[in-house]
Amino acid sequence: MSSKEELLKKLSDGVVEMEEDDVAEAAQEYLDAGYPAFDGIMEGLVDGMNRASQLYEEEEYFVTDVLLCSDAMYAGLDILRPYLPEVANDDKITGVIGVVEGDTHDIGKNLVKIMLETAGFNMIDLGRDVPLQQFVDTAKEQNADFVCMSTLMTTTMGGMETVIHLLEEAGIRNKVKVMIGGGPISQKFADKIGADGYSQNAVEAVKLAKRLLNIA
Amino acid sequence: MLTPKERLKLIMEGKKTDRPACICPGGMMNMVTAELMDEVQVYLPEAHTDARKMADLAKAVYEKGCFENYGVPFCMTVEAEEMGARVDMGSKVYEPHVIEYVIDSVCDYQKLTPVDVTKGRAKVVVDAIRILKQETEGVPIVGNLTGPISTASSVMEPVIFYKELRKKSKEAHAYMEFITDQLITFGRAQIEAGADVIAISDPSGTGEILGPKFFEEFAVTYINRLLDALQAEKLGTIVHICGQMRPVYREVNELHSNVLSFDSVVPMKEARAHLEDRVLMGNVSTYALEFGDPERVKMLTRSCQKHGSDILSPACGLGMKSPLANVQSILECLKEEA
């Protein structure tokens, strides 16, 4: 019988090593031993994902590696999540994320979503090639705190500015922070269109979201 | 006085010329803007599917003093569409993009339709090149190919594709071979029709996404296989890779193309320092081209030239709203400096 610490390490290491099956097995063993699901997620799975992000920042890991780490994390989450005590989702800070209309490149967006979820945000993923009005409608319906948009194409960058205008028209621009990113996007472009922030990669996006929303 | 074609040829051979060339290949490196379409009254998305219009729009790029080349097509979805992916042709301002994939795994590649250059939009592109060849001279015609990794991740979900590169290595290689064979067919047909240069852009196969090991194993290997299979009778080849090069300079230097091109996150000075003996193309910021003014564009042009760019070009595809005056400033600046 493994101790709680050993199992947490197994969960965390499994995520870093991209071993989906090991993580699932460790998660089941952890539950069977009667340890609390919440700790398993935070100190096991999320800890592993944070270590993966650190490796990504250090350029030891690349995008494909992080995608596989996140698969392993989600394999563990699927098992542990049903055993979490009920928490109202209202307490969580909610973000809407998507790739703007005209573009279907969503690797970067997926990575940002994974990192933000790992950091504890409730993310609503609109997917790719998202009609611009949908960002605004969803933000309004879900009472979102922030909107994240990305694109890899110069030709679709302009859509981000349109979304900001649409948020103004809907009267909710002062309630949501707008973050943007993607290949051709820069801080300069963010300033020009009046976005609240730009981040160059997924790790930076988490730091940016926390800064914009005043979360320690 | 050198013709644009003679100048580009000398540069690609590593020889001295009066000044750097100024080109924008097309394909992912879009060079069509709204103002240009208005000038010649030929419009996207129609020109994506009509060889005559495609050729006319390509001609306008040179005739209106933007760049010293013709280039087709104006998107990177032709190969994927011919293999069975569903493509939204976009609009006057949006590029065509894939909206429905064909396969769910690298293992299923036999379900893909091989590219047939006598049909569909592959034929449109080849016909457009033929028209350009018949009606023009002295200006290089650039045929564009979507890179192997980018094509492979256009007919299936990219996230699954990237994961299977690691998890199903053997099948992933078989898939990449199939994809590369289709690109070879399309590339050879373009050269046969009269393309002087083949430009390959592989934005989904970056060092940042793949990391050095997989970049070498999958991007470099298959781009080289494609380059080596093209006919020798041509001016040369260009490979454009997006993103940071720092993790992969050594691997990039293994590419067999005549020219290497990077986007604007790569400082020309840094690229030149790492790739001393290569012919480099780039990399005037498309942000400056869209939102700056001619003075700013000229400043960036002079800086690229000073730091070792042999062929001046935008760093990425042009934004559709880029003012013509800005776009024309790169070439204008090179002529002033010469």
Subunit contact A105:B204, Cβ cutoff 8 A: yes
Contacts A183 to B, Cβ<8 Å:
203, 242-243, 263, 316
Look at residue A108 in the predicted model and tell me its pLDDT. 83
Q: How far is Cα B78 from Cα A204, in angstroms, rounded to an integer? A: 35
Q: What is the pLDDT of residues B168-197, one digit of tens each?
A: 999 999 999 999 999 999 999 999 999 999
Binning pLDDT at 50, 70 and 90, where does residue B214 land? very high
- In A4-63, the residues whose Cβ lies within 8 Å of chain B are 18, 59, 61-63
> Is the Cα dihedral B61, B127, B145, B280 positive or negative?
negative
Give the closest residue to A198 by CA, choosing from A215, A178, A213. A178
Contacts B93 to A, Cβ<8 Å:
102, 155, 158
The tokens for B47 are 């020109």
Whether A127 contacts chain B with CB within 8 A: no
Chain B: closest CA distance from residue A68 (Å) = 7
Look at residue A89 in the predicted model and tell me its pLDDT. 56
Average pLDDT of B194-201? 98
Q: Is the pLDDT of residue A5 over 80?
A: yes
Q: What is the pLDDT of residues B117-128, one digit of tens each?
A: 999 999 999 999
Binning pLDDT at 50, 70 and 90, where does residue B238 land? very high
Q: Are B214 and B220 in contact (CB under 8 A)?
A: no
Q: Are B129 and B193 in contact (CB under 8 A)?
A: yes
DSSP state for residue B96 in the 8-state scheme: P
Count of other CB atoms within 10 angstroms of residue A48: 28
Beta partners for B237?
Answer: B198
Residue with tokens 């590169």: B165
Residues composing chain A: 216
- Cis check: omega of the bond before A184, within 30 degrees of 0: no
Q: How far is Cα B198 from Cα B239, in angstroms, rounded to an integer? A: 9
Q: Are B202 and B241 in contact (CB under 8 A)?
A: yes
Residue with tokens 């992000």: A53
Average pLDDT of B201-225? 94
Q: How far is Cα B309 from Cα B296, in angstroms, rounded to an integer? A: 17
Q: What is the pLDDT of residues B24-70, one digit of tens each?
A: 999 999 999 999 999 999 999 999 999 999 999 999 999 999 999 99
Chain A: closest CA distance from residue B97 (Å) = 7
With CA atoms as reference, the chain B residue closest to A187 would be B287
Q: How high is the mean pLDDT of chain A?
A: 91
Q: Is B24 helix (H, G, I), strand (E, B) or coil?
A: coil
Subunit contact A183:B319, Cβ cutoff 8 A: no
Subunit contact A103:B97, Cβ cutoff 8 A: yes
Q: Are A56 and A15 in contact (CB under 8 A)?
A: no
Look at residue B196 in the predicted model and tell me its pLDDT. 98
Is the pTM above the cut of 0.95? no
Look at residue A91 in the predicted model and tell me its pLDDT. 73
Q: Is B35 helix (H, G, I), strand (E, B) or coil?
A: helix
Q: How far is Cα B175 from Cα B173, in angstroms, rounded to an integer? A: 5
Strand B86-88 with B97-100, pairing: antiparallel
Amino acid at A3: S
Q: What is the pLDDT of residues A99-141, one digit of tens each?
A: 999 877 788 898 899 889 888 899 999 998 899 999 999 999 9
CA atoms within 13 A on the CB side of A147: 31
Beta partners for B311?
Answer: B21, B281
Interface confidence (ipTM) of the complex: 0.75
Percentage of residues of chain B with pLDDT beyond 90: 89
Contacts B106 to A, Cβ<8 Å:
none
Whether B320 contacts chain A with CB within 8 A: yes
Average pLDDT of A13-20? 95
Look at residue A86 in the predicted model and tell me its pLDDT. 66
Whether A187 contacts chain B with CB within 8 A: no
CB pairs under 8 A between A and B: 89
Count of other CB atoms within 10 angstroms of residue B284: 31
Chain B interface disruption, residue of A154, A162, A193, A204, most B CBs within 10 A? A154
Binning pLDDT at 50, 70 and 90, where does residue A87 land? low
Chain B: closest CA distance from residue A152 (Å) = 9
Q: Are A105 and A153 in contact (CB under 8 A)?
A: yes
First CA to last CA distance, chain A: 37
First CA to last CA distance, chain B: 12
Nearest CB neighbour to A102, from listed B90, B162, B246: B90
Binning pLDDT at 50, 70 and 90, where does residue A90 land? low
Subunit contact B321:A110, Cβ cutoff 8 A: no
Subunit contact A104:B287, Cβ cutoff 8 A: no
Average pLDDT of B294-304? 97
Backbone phi, psi, residue A32, to 5°? -60, -35
Q: What is the radius of gyration, based on Cα positions, of chain A? A: 18
Chain A interface disruption, residue of B76, B208, B245, B251, most A CBs within 10 A? B208
Q: Is the pLDDT of residue A88 over 80?
A: no
Whether A120 contacts chain B with CB within 8 A: no
Q: How far is Cα B45 from Cα B36, in angstroms, rounded to an integer? A: 14
Q: Are B295 and B323 in contact (CB under 8 A)?
A: no
**Three-class SS string for chain A?**
CCCHHHHHHHHHHHHHCCCHHHHHHHHHHHHHCCCCHHHHHHHHHHHHHHHHHHHHHCCCCCHHHHHHHHHHHHHHHHHHHHHCCCCCHHHCCEEEEEEECCCCCCHHHHHHHHHHHHCCCEEEECCCCECHHHHHHHHHHCCCCEEEEECCCHHHCHHHHHHHHHHHHCCCCCCCEEEEECCCCCHHHHHHHCCCEECCCHHHHHHHHHHHCCCC
Q: How far is Cα A151 from Cα A129, in angstroms, rounded to an integer? A: 9
Strand B86-88 with A197-198, pairing: unpaired
Q: What is the pLDDT of residues A41-57, one digit of tens each?
A: 989 998 999 899 889 88
DSSP state for residue B194 in the 8-state scheme: T
Q: How far is CA B144 from CA B30, B76, B141, B189, B191, in A?
A: 11, 8, 10, 11, 10
Binning pLDDT at 50, 70 and 90, where does residue A216 land? low
Look at residue B57 in the predicted model and tell me its pLDDT. 98
Q: How high is the mean pLDDT of chain B?
A: 96
Look at residue B285 in the predicted model and tell me its pLDDT. 92
Q: Is B120 left (phi over 0), alpha (psi -120 to 50) or beta?
A: left
Contacts A102 to B, Cβ<8 Å:
90, 93-95, 97
The tokens for A67 are 């995608």
Q: What is the pLDDT of residues A151-198, one digit of tens each?
A: 988 778 889 999 999 999 999 999 999 999 988 889 999 999 999 999
Backbone phi, psi, residue B239, to 5°? -120, 125
Binning pLDDT at 50, 70 and 90, where does residue B328 land? very high
Whether A104 contacts chain B with CB within 8 A: yes
